[in-house]
Structure 1
Amino acid sequence: MSAERRVHLSRSAMDAYRALDSFTQTVNQIAADSGIDDRFKEIMMIHASQLNGCAFCVRVHLDRAVEAGLDIDTIAQIATWRESGVFTERERAGLELTEAFTFIHEDGIPDDVYDHVGGILTEKEYVAASWLLVSINSFNRIAIAGRYPVPPRKPAAAG
């Protein structure tokens, strides 16, 4: 079945998609109320989408990261965060948690990750970050299953 003929889940079952969107809005509010700022959130969203191979969601969250003030160097370093010095201790904890949630089928959330991340993030931050990761992993699966297109961007008009 070609990409053009794939079922577009967000259009084919609008009630389910609206429920997921509403869930995500709730999760975003919990994150904001728990002290998770947009920079921290978008770093996690991009990394989960990279790990899942979801080009569509990478693009969506790249745009949101730029809106949140992330520069190109920081965004480019997300994939190599363990070797990079551009992330705060909290962001590194979020990236570590992102990997555990994205690959949860391998080891669950290992005790060493839980203990390490839990020693850096408050319980409220840990809970909020976890729900954000549940949300993005769900959206990644929808976009990947439907092979949502990611065409080249059109060049900006010269000003």
Structure 2
Amino acid sequence: MLGKAIDESGLDKQLTELLKLRASQINGCAFCLQYHLNLARKHGLSPAKIDLVATWRDCRIFSERERAALAWTEALTLMAQHHIADSAYEQLQAVFSKSEIAFLTAAIGAINAWNRIAGALQFDPPVHQAS
């Protein structure tokens, strides 16, 4: 149900896939990374953004909204190691509505949960393209 609500929230699918890619990279979840690479390609995310998402801070190809969402993704994914800075939330508020922030946060929380499930249970990555 949470996934359906996020999908129907109006958030851009390319953006949500970008966040899922970054969280899955940080968490080292091969299954989720491959799954969301397939979906990112299906939704038309540019190959350059897919290739460079791990180094998004050093690339100019990411929009202000993408940069704010990626910073939020990293802050939430790594919150056990680092306090979430007020500046990360302020950056988010500058480019997203409260509703969008809620759905972004839910999407990040969901992918982090899936990373832990798939990683712990050692799911094999889906090597075929998503249809």
Same fold (TM over 0.5): yes
Q: Which consecutive residues of structure 2, in runs of 5 or more, have no partner in the other structure?
A: none
The aligned length equals 128
Normalised to the residue count of structure 2, the TM-score between the two structures is: 0.90
- Return structure 1 stretches of 4+ with deviation > 3 angstroms: none
RCO higher in structure (CA 8 A, sep ≥6): 2
Rg larger in structure? 1
Per-residue CA deviations over 1:8-35 (Å, capped at 9, x if unaligned) read xxxxxxxxxxxxxx322223223x2xxx
Sequence identity of aligned pairs in percent? Answer: 34
How far is 1:77 from its partner?
0.8
Q: Which consecutive residues of structure 1, in runs of 5 or more, have no partner in the other structure?
A: 1-21, 155-159
Structure 2 residue 26 is matched with structure 1 residue 51? yes
For the 8 Å contact 1:47–1:78, the answer to whether it is kept is yes
Partner of 1:68: 43
Among 75, 83, 107, the residue aligned to 1:132: 107
For the 8 Å contact 1:44–1:94, the answer to whether it is kept is yes
Per-residue CA deviations over 1:123-151 (Å, capped at 9, x if unaligned) read 11111100100110010000000111137
**Inter-partner Cα distance in structure 2 for 1:45 and 1:136:** 6
Partner of 1:145: 120
Partner of 1:97: 72
How far is 1:65 from its partner?
0.5
How far is 1:107 from its partner?
3.2
Partner of 1:27: 6
**Inter-partner Cα distance in structure 2 for 1:42 and 1:108:** 25
For the 8 Å contact 2:7–2:13, the answer to whether it is kept is no
**Inter-partner Cα distance in structure 1 for 2:99 and 2:5:** 15
For the 8 Å contact 1:77–1:86, the answer to whether it is kept is no
